[in-house]
Amino acid sequence: MTLRAVLLSLLLPAAVVMLLLVVLGQPGTAVGAALVTLAGSIAAHVANRDQVHRQIQALVSKTRDRVEGTAVSPSPDSERMDEMASLEGAIDSLHSRLTTQNVLRTQEARTLTAVLDGMVEGIWITDAEGTVIRHNDALRVMLQPGRGAIVGQRPLALIRDEALNDAVARACREGTSSRLELTLEGLFPLTLAIRVTPLGRDLPGSAAVFNDVTELRRLENVRKDFVANVSHELRTPITAIRGYAETLQTGALQDPTVAPKMVEIIHRQSERLSELVEDLLELSRLESREMKLRFADVSLAVAASRAADTVKPKAEGKNIRLELHVPSDLRARGDERAVEQVLLNLLDNAVKYTPAGGRVDVRGTQENGRCVVRVKDTGVGIEPKHLSRIFERFYRVDKGRSRDMGGTGLGLSIVKHLLGAMEGEVKVESQPNVGSVFVIFLPSTPSEAASG
């Protein structure tokens, strides 16, 4: 209220009283009555102002308690002005609406955070300057757990890649979307497919979605290598079969000296082709888990003896001494056919890569509750750089020599998969020009494990 309005409200009643007394013919008492009236107006004004001040202070205090979340107890006031009551009601209504809106926004924010953190894709959101203002848990895992704060960083500080930094800048300034792929070096390299887009809807900034495609790219490379290797392995026998067949067709069939040799080569190459196809089908069934193994107690002495009988003619042809030292009571838990195939593949390799006059020993023991079989040879051995890869499909230490000996390059891979399916494992120790030791581990039968 202005000073003029205050003076007017105080002096007007006194002036009216004085004027009435003058009109009524009592001018002597007019001034006194006017002063008394003025004093009353002043007293009333002061009292009213104090009441308004107290009610405003009480309203401010209650409003502050609501803002701070403190419980507010109603305090009845019979002298409360209607205007103050109306104002308090309006404040209560506004507070209730704001509280409801805050609850909804908090719930929406928690839901959004839960959705973002539940995604396997990494996500970050930047402001108009390209600074990260939000991200989810998956992104932190991708960028390595030990990294510091992500919020407040620029893209180039988080990932040293100019292409990504430029893509974020274009999204923020030009509203352009981009796709790119990059590899993060480290202990565990990651290949990330990234899509950067503007936020849109008149919102400044950008969003980037990071997909981990490391395993996908690895599988693509495996598939490409597999197709290339299979094509090459198939081409070799097919080319030989076709070449000799065409030679026979053009007249060599009538040559009694040449024809039998060519037919023998065709037969040998067709067997090699059949072995390759069979190994591929076997490996495919193992990897797709289509092969159903029948678990039973398998005598490792019997399995080793059968495998040795199969390779014995080849060993005798090279004057290789083949010895078995597997206890008759050593029994493993596994599939009988699979165990025999594992030992046959290992013995066949041992005989194949052992020079004439060499030796192959098979020894079986029980160690730490598991059955252990060692196939040791005095062959050409394997260089250390090849040891970690010899169980890969089509991997050969000496490609030319392996093909000349008729290997498919799948035997050791099949061994690894068969043992894995039986909860076993295989290891290798080797020295060039000294020999190799392939060690297989299989679960013991319950009785064997208890006695061990």
Cα–Cα dist 359/449, whole Å: 31
Last residue of a domain, one of 189, 216, 243: 216
Position 213, amino acid: V
Higher local confidence (pLDDT), 236 or 452: 236
Each residue's pLDDT tens digit, 251-280:
887 888 888 888 888 888 888 788 778 777
Q: Is the pLDDT of residue 304 over 90?
A: yes
CB atoms within 10 A of CB 370: 20
Same domain, 435 and 363: yes
**CATH number for position 135:** 3.30.450.20
Same domain, 330 and 438: yes
Query: Pairing between strand 203-212 and 190-200?
Result: antiparallel
Nearest CA-CA partner of 85 in 117, 59, 120, 104: 59
Same domain, 278 and 155: no
Same domain, 430 and 396: yes
**CATH number for position 320:** 3.30.565.10
Confidence grade of residue 87 (pLDDT, cut at 50, 70, 90) = low
Residue 404 lies in a domain: yes
Residue 190 lies in a domain: yes
Q: Is the pLDDT of residue 441 over 90?
A: yes
Q: Is the pLDDT of residue 442 over 90?
A: yes
Same domain, 304 and 439: yes
Give residue 192's pLDDT: 92
Residue 91 lies in a domain: no
Nearest CA-CA partner of 368 in 447, 422, 443, 424: 443
Mean pLDDT of 372-386: 89
Last residue of a domain, one of 61, 76, 92: 61
**Structural domains in the chain (count):** 4
Residue 376 lies in a domain: yes
Confidence grade of residue 47 (pLDDT, cut at 50, 70, 90) = low
Give residue 12's pLDDT: 61
Element (H, E) at 404: helix 399-404
Cα–Cα dist 243/22, whole Å: 146
Same domain, 211 and 143: yes
Q: Is the pLDDT of residue 143 over 90?
A: no
Confidence grade of residue 51 (pLDDT, cut at 50, 70, 90) = low
Q: What's the domain range around 52?
A: 3-61
Give residue 443's pLDDT: 92
How far CA 203 is from CA of 105, 125, 152, 171, 175, in Å, comes to 18, 11, 18, 12, 11
Position 94, amino acid: L
Q: Crossing angle, helix 214-249 and helix 258-287, to 10 degrees?
A: 160
**CATH number for position 240:** 1.10.287.130
Residue 85 lies in a domain: no
Residue 389 lies in a domain: yes
Q: Is the pLDDT of residue 372 over 90?
A: yes
Mean pLDDT taken over the chain = 79
Residue 321 lies in a domain: yes
Query: Pairing between strand 321-325 and 331-335?
Result: unpaired
Give residue 119's pLDDT: 81
Same domain, 438 and 302: yes
Same domain, 192 and 222: no
Same domain, 130 and 250: no
Same domain, 207 and 240: no
Each residue's pLDDT tens digit, 313-371:
889 989 999 999 999 999 999 989 889 989 998 998 899 889 999 999 999 999 888 99
Residue 402 lies in a domain: yes
Last residue of a domain, one of 216, 243, 262: 216
Q: Is the pLDDT of residue 78 over 60?
A: no
Higher local confidence (pLDDT), 448 or 286: 286
Same domain, 13 and 53: yes
